[in-house]
């Protein structure tokens, strides 16, 4: 098990607390502002300028002619690529691969050899594995399928259909301590609520907990529950902050050439188009900006408005060394579909941008959005497909820290993305009491891998106000890596 980063391609902190890295200041002049591409909402039926055109190939070749047709197309295409740039050649070749894949599917269908869609088989096969729950080697294959939310008195009569609706999740997200007290009344002692109240008075992050998360917390033992530890502060567990603590512990503001953009590494930038998330983690590195003012922190703001993003896009255009853009915030889960498309297509249209990552805690804390907010999910799938057609990588980076965050709802959501070509990678923060044992970390990584989520990074916890109780020592981390 590797605790340090397992891939050196990305060093920006996508989410909350991550490992600090060496940084390089980049000072670039601001180019003339140019209007980005105009994108209509998905509901309006607008077609992206990068979408592969609709092509009907049925009947244009027989099964016997298929290989000759492919060879002819490739040879004809290659003979005309000499005048194009490398980027243009890669884009054309990628588009041809998509067309040839479609031809192969049609060819198989004509021969009646096409299997049923894998989407119909995969969930059944995964459910039919039937591991022995007493066998630890298979525990990562078990996904919770019960109506776990109904243990919350207020949700006792909530149906599965209602609970899986993202509108329900948003409507009943807990943002006030009084509301939390109402929902868990009778499940905890009054002393626990008072402990939370005092903890919130000193916390740099506001309270925000989705019904999904709230229902997964073990309220019979909330003090030691790994989800409570991440999202609800307790005064009784508060440790003295590290003497070297600063609110912006990664120095992001000092590496921000234009508002909403951080350029710490030569070929990578962090784009911050908004300052809200579906839930708020206690250990958020960007507590200097995310989630609204608290009793201890007055926040700076990232504007969720396209007219405020043009300076960032122009800076990227003016710096050809930038190849990798991380879209975070805040959380990409909270972007409206049309704005997500605007950002994705604006960045893909910059020739030297080769990799783009959308960062979201959402799949871990509100996975049903992927299944029920079809416009948002289709926007993500579309951007990924456009990037692939252009020979560029687009990923979703998420942030699971505990196996307790994962249910069958999670599996269904992530498999939906997998079947639609979206590659998902996970970045875990090492947190005391959550995942700081070998058994717990192995369980998490194997469970993620089983859902086709790549375990990408494990980060050492940064210094964040009010979270010293969550940090492991470097010696503990090294021992865990062994």
Same domain, 187 and 327: no
Domain membership flag for residue 11: no
Q: What is the pLDDT of residue 254?
A: 84
User: Has residue 217 been placed in a domain?
Assistant: yes
Among residues 237, 272, 294, the one where a domain terminates is 237
Residues 200 and 264 in one domain: no
Tell which of 237, 270, 300 closes a domain: 237
Same domain, 302 and 326: yes
Show the domain range for 175. 148-237
Instruction: Looking at the structure, tell me whether residues 267 and 191 fall in a common domain.
Output: no
Q: In terms of domains, do 286 and 386 share one? A: yes
Tell me, yes or no, whether 351 and 281 share the same domain. Answer: yes
- Find the helix packing angle between 408-419 and 374-389, rounded to 10°: 40
Give the 3-state DSSP-derived string for the chain, with helices as H, strands as E and coil as C: CCCCCCCCCCCCCCCCCCCCCCCCCCCCCCCCCCCCCCCCCHHHCCCCCCCCCCCCCCCCCCCCCHHHHHHHHHHHHHCCCCCCCHHHHHHHHHHHHHHHHHHHHHHHHHCCCCCCCHHHHHHHHHHHCCCCCCCHHHHHHCCCCCCHHHHCHHHCCCCHHHHCCHHHHHHCCECCHHHHHHHCECCECHHHHHHHHHHHHHCCCCCCECHHHHHHCCCCCHHHCHHHHHHCCCHHHCCCCCCCCCCCCCCCHHHCCCCCEEEEECCEEEECCCCCCCCCCCCCCCCCCCCCCCCCCCCCCCCCCHHHCHHHHHHHHCCCCCCEEEECCCCHHHCCHHHHHHHHHHHHCCCCCCEEEEECCHHHHCCHHHHHCHHHHHHHHHHHHHHHHCCCEEEEEECCCCHHHCCHHHHHHHHHHHHCCCEEEEEEECCCCCCCCHHHHHHHHHHHHHCCEEEEEEECCCCCCCCHHHCCCHHHHHHHHC
Q: Are residues 353 and 232 in the same domain?
A: no
Domain harbouring 329, CATH code: 3.20.20.70
Residue 233 resides in a domain: yes
Pairing of strands 355-359, 393-398: parallel
Same domain, 345 and 263: yes
Same domain flag for 418 and 454: yes
In a domain, 57, yes or no: no
Whether residue 282 sits in one domain with residue 183: no
Alpha-carbon gap, residue 407 to 135, rounded angstroms: 19
Looking at residue 46, what is its pLDDT? 38
Asked, for residue 41, whether it belongs to a domain, the answer is no
Domain boundary among 207, 237, 267: 237
In a domain, 83, yes or no: no
Do residues 282 and 203 touch, judged by C-beta distance below 8 A?
A: yes
pLDDT string in tens for the chain (482-residue length): 444 433 333 445 565 444 433 333 444 333 333 333 333 333 333 333 334 333 333 333 334 445 556 566 667 776 777 777 766 666 666 666 666 655 655 565 555 544 444 343 344 444 444 445 557 788 999 999 999 999 999 999 999 999 999 999 999 999 999 999 999 999 999 999 999 999 999 888 889 999 999 999 999 999 999 999 999 999 999 888 887 877 777 777 888 999 899 999 999 999 999 988 999 988 888 766 677 677 677 656 676 677 779 999 999 999 999 999 999 988 999 999 999 999 999 999 999 999 999 999 999 999 999 999 999 999 999 999 999 999 999 999 999 999 999 999 999 999 999 999 999 999 999 999 999 999 999 999 999 999 999 999 898 888 888 888 899 988 898 888 87
Number of structural domains the chain divides into = 2
Looking at the domain assignment, is residue 410 inside a domain? yes
Q: Are residue 169 and residue 308 in the same domain, yes or no?
A: no
Are 425 and 312 found together in one domain? yes
Compute CA distances 155 → 180, 227, 451, whole Å: 13, 19, 28
User: Is 12 among the domain residues?
Assistant: no
């Amino acid at each position: 098990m590797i605790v340090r980063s397992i891939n050196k391609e990305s060093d920006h902190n996508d989410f909350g607390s991550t490992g600090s890295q060496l940084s390089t200041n980049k000072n670039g002049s601001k180019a003339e502002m140019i209007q980005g591409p105009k994108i209509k909402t998905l509901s309006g039926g607008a077609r992206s300028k990068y979408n592969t055109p609709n092509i009907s190939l049925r009947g244009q070749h027989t099964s016997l002619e298929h290989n000759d047709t492919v060879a002819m197309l490739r040879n004809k295409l290659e003979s005309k690529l000499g005048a194009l740039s490398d980027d243009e050649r890669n884009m054309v070749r990628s588009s041809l691969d998509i067309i040839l894949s479609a031809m192969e599917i049609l060819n198989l269908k004509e021969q009646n050899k096409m299997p049923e869609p894998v989407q119909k088989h995969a969930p059944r096969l995964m459910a039919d594995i039937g591991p022995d729950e007493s066998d630890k080697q298979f525990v990562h294959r078990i996904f919770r399928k019960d109506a776990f939310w109904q243990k919350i008195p207020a949700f006792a009569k909530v149906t599965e259909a209602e609970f899986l609706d993202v509108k329900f999740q948003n409507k009943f997200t807990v943002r006030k301590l009084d509301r939390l007290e109402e929902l868990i009344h009778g499940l905890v002692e009054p002393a626990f609520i008072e402990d939370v109240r005092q903890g919130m008075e000193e916390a740099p992050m506001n309270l925000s907990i989705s019904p999904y998360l709230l229902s997964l917390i073990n309220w019979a033992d909330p003090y030691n529950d790994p989800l409570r530890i991440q999202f609800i502060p307790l005064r009784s567990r508060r440790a003295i902050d590290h003497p070297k603590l600063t609110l912006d512990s990664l120095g992001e503001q000092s590496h921000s050439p234009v508002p909403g953009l951080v350029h710490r590494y030569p070929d990578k930038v962090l784009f911050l188009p908004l300052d809200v998330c579906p839930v708020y983690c206690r250990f958020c590195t960007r507590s200097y900006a995310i989630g609204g003012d608290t009793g201890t922190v007055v926040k700076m703001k990232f504007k969720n408005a396209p007219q405020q993003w043009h300076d960032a896009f122009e800076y990227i255009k003016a710096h050809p060394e930038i190849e990798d853009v991380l879209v975070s915030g805040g959380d990409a889960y909270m972007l409206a579909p049309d704005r997500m498309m605007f950002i994705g297509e604006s960045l893909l249209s910059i020739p030297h941008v080769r990799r783009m990552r959308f960062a979201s805690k959402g799949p871990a804390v509100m996975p049903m959005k992927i299944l029920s907010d079809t416009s948002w999910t289709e926007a993500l799938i579309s951007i990924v497909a456009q990037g692939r057609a252009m020979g560029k990588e687009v990923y979703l980076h998420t942030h699971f820290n505990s196996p307790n965050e994962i249910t069958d709802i999670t599996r269904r959501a992530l498999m939906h993305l997998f079947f639609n070509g979206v590659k998902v990678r996970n970045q875990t923060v090492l947190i005391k009491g959550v995942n700081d044992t070998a058994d717990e970390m192995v369980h998490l990584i194997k469970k993620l891998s089983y859902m086709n989520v790549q375990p990408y990074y494990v980060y050492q916890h940064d210094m964040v106000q009010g979270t010293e109780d969550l940090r492991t020592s470097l010696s503990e981390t090294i021992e865990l890596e062994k």
